[in-house]
Amino acid sequence: MKKLFLLTTVILFAACQTPTTPTEPKMSNEDISSALKENAVKLQDAILTQNLEEFNKYVDQNITFTTGESNLKEFIVMNTERLNNEQETNWGSFELNDIDVNLSPDSTTAVLTFYAKGNYTIGEGDVIDYSTRASSVWVSTENGWKIMHSNWAPFGGGNGIPE
């Protein structure tokens, strides 16, 4: 009888426990895609304006963020140190467009493909038209969606960033 009483007590105790962390409603794939498109634009704006606070919203310090820049040089690690480097490129305009989001079957990883157009100058030089195609990989973490990798390449006769 004592064992039955203990078993009943354990079951009742477990049933009455509230979760230690609230469960969030699962976002639809459409909502995830929409949020990731917005994240991609905001992250790029943060990089161009060297806005560390905004940059850190989309980068997880525990996940290495690598990128292949549009000058087609070796891959680099994009981090706060690199973000704060003095920029030689002065952007006149920069816009991401035609962003497409492809989610993994469990909706925890996403690959974004998109294009970017704009223009820049270096010092007092001529205006250079910028046109690239790009992709980025994002992962769902307990702190939201974070970028893991991006890759950029000149597109349609356009130029990437200077070497």
Residue of 102, 104, 98 lying closest to 33 (CA atoms): 102
Q: How confident is the model at residue 20 (pLDDT cuts 50, 70, 90)?
A: very low
Domain boundaries, the chain: 27-154
Q: What single letter denotes the amino acid at residue 104? A: S
Burial state string for 80-115 with b = 16 or more CB within 10 A and e = fewer than 16: eeebeeeeeeeeeebebeebebebeeeeeebebebb
Reported confidence tier of residue 123, pLDDT bands at 50, 70, 90: confident
d(CA 111, CA 46): 20
Taking domain 27-154, whether its CATH number is 1.10.10.10 is answered by: no
Computed on alpha carbons and rounded to an integer, the radius of gyration of the chain in Å comes to: 22
* pLDDT for the residue numbered 156: 84
Percent residues over pLDDT 90 in the chain: 69
Q: Summarize the confidence of residues 35-55 as an average pLDDT.
A: 96
* Average pLDDT taken over every residue of the chain: 87
Least confident of 10-19, 69-78, 99-108: 10-19
